């Protein structure tokens, strides 16, 4: 039986990058889609692409950091399709800057979207995923949920939090023998507009960060989406995407808590921070 045909799949942050690629590939595989994003323009484009790929699409503007909005969205999706099988917690934002120059507002914003967004959607959709008899939660962490990068503490903390939440959820659901699987995804650099969309601390040379990102981001959004869907099909607990994610995984195991020394020295070579 196909893992995607006729399944109802919820994708947050569907208006760009990996979320858009996931939406189109799910549509091609016969899934029925509930797409959302905080930015309506990108979402409209994704809806058009997913429909052209043959998908039945329900779309709403939803800011995942807004709990009430996510509660309403979960009701609306269940009402529209009658069931929910898969939740792709994809929405996310990046932030670049040293801790000393990062405002509380920016630290809270990144956590609100990247961590609380996953918590809101997972808690609201979980009863429907259980009811479906064959649910799946995908949580989007990052390579920076394996290793913390200096000058990205806000992002690192949110992605480590996503990993902790997802791993605990998987263990709880296995122990309770619930029919819901959990996959935590750790992409390395993927060629999306994430850096264009990113906030930064005052004085950061974001044009330089973008140039470096374009050089190191070897994975395409389509490649990342394929790896995620393969992970869902094979019920993988953890999906590493790209050679950089695999290197980070090995580094974290080899160096243990000493990896920060390596990370600090390596990042100094690459991060054009005005504040370092
Ligand atoms: N691109 C990478 O290198 C990379 C690496 C590791 C992890 N990730 C993660 O993958 C996910 C997708 O990122 P991407 O690279 O496609 O970035 P992207 O910027 O292209 O897409 C992110 C989408 O999330 C949406 N979004 C932002 N805030 C939102 C909110 N509050 N509510 C709902 N939607 C919101 C944006 O509007 C955008 O459409 C993110 O969670 C990101 O952290 C990306």
**Domains (range + CATH), the chain:** 8-270 (3.40.50.720)
- Write down the number of H helices and E strands in the chain: 10, 9
Strand locations in 188-276 (E): 199-200, 238-241
Q: Exposed, middle or buried, 48 (CB in 10 Å: 0-12/13-18/19+)?
A: exposed
Q: pLDDT at position 272, please?
A: 55
The pTM (predicted TM-score) of the whole model is: 0.96
CA 263 to centroid of ligand 1, rounded, Å: 24
Dihedral sign for Cα 35, 114, 182, 233, please.
positive
Pocket residues: Cβ below 6 A from ligand 1: 12-13, 15-19, 37-39, 42, 63-65, 90-93, 113, 117, 140, 142, 187, 189-190, 192-194, 197, 217
Q: Whose alpha carbon is nearest atom 37 of ligand 1?
A: 39
Do 221 and 23 form a contact (C-beta atoms < 8 A)?
Answer: no
Record the tokens describing residue 189, joined without a space.
Answer: 């650099």
List 96's β-bridge partners, or say none: 200
Q: pLDDT at position 1, please?
A: 61
Q: pLDDT at position 259, please?
A: 84
Do 71 and 79 form a contact (C-beta atoms < 8 A)?
Answer: no
Q: Which atom of ligand 1 is nearest to the CA of 219?
A: 3
CA 175 to centroid of ligand 1, rounded, Å: 31
Query: Which ranges constitute the DSSP H helices of 35-98?
Result: 40-52, 67-81
3-state SS track over 179-245: CEEEEEEEECCECCCCCCCCEECCCCCHHHHHHHHHHHCCECHHHHHHHHHHHHHCCCCEEEECHHH
Q: Which atom of ligand 1 is nearest to the CA of 39?
A: 37
Q: pLDDT at position 275, please?
A: 47
Catalytic residue at 104?
Answer: no
Give pLDDT tens digits for 175-211: 999 999 999 999 999 999 999 999 999 999 999 999 9
Catalytic one among 88, 104, 115, 155? 155
Residue stretches of the chain with pLDDT short of 70: 1, 266-276
CA 92 to centroid of ligand 1, rounded, Å: 4
Do 89 and 118 form a contact (C-beta atoms < 8 A)?
Answer: yes
Record the tokens describing residue 98, joined without a space.
Answer: 């040293």
List 183's β-bridge partners, or say none: 138
């Amino acid at each position: 039986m196909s893992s995607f045909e006729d399944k109802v799949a919820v994708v947050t942050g569907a208006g760009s990058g990996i979320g858009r690629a996931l939406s189109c590939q799910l549509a091609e595989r016969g899934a029925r889609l509930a797409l959302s994003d905080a930015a309506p323009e990108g979402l409209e484009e994704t809806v058009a692409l997913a429909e052209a790929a043959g998908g039945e699409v329900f779309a709403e503007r939803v800011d995942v950091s807004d709990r009430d909005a996510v509660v309403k969205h979960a009701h609306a999706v269940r009402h529209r399709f009658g069931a929910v099988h898969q939740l792709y917690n994809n929405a996310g934002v990046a932030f670049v800057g040293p801790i000393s120059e990062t405002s509380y507002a920016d630290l809270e914003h990144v956590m609100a979207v990247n961590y609380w967004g996953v918590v809101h959607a997972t808690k609201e959709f979980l009863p429907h995923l259980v009811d479906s008899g064959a649910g799946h939660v995908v949580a989007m962490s990052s390579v920076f949920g394996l290793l913390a990068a200096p000058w990205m503490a806000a992002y690192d903390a949110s992605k480590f939090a996503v990993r902790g939440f997802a791993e605990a959820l998987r263990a709880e659901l296995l122990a309770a023998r619930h029919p819901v699987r959990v996959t935590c995804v750790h992409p390395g650099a993927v060629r999306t507009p994430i850096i264009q969309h990113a906030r930064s601390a005052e004085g950061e040379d974001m044009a330089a960060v973008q140039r470096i990102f374009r050089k190191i981001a070897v994975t395409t959004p389509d490649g990342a989406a394929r790896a995620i869907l393969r992970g869902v099909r094979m019920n993988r607990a953890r999906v590493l995407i790209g050679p950089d994610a695999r290197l980070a995984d090995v580094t974290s195991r080899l160096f243990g808590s000493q990896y920060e020394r390596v990370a600090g020295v390596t990042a100094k070579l690459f991060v054009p921070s005005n504040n370092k």
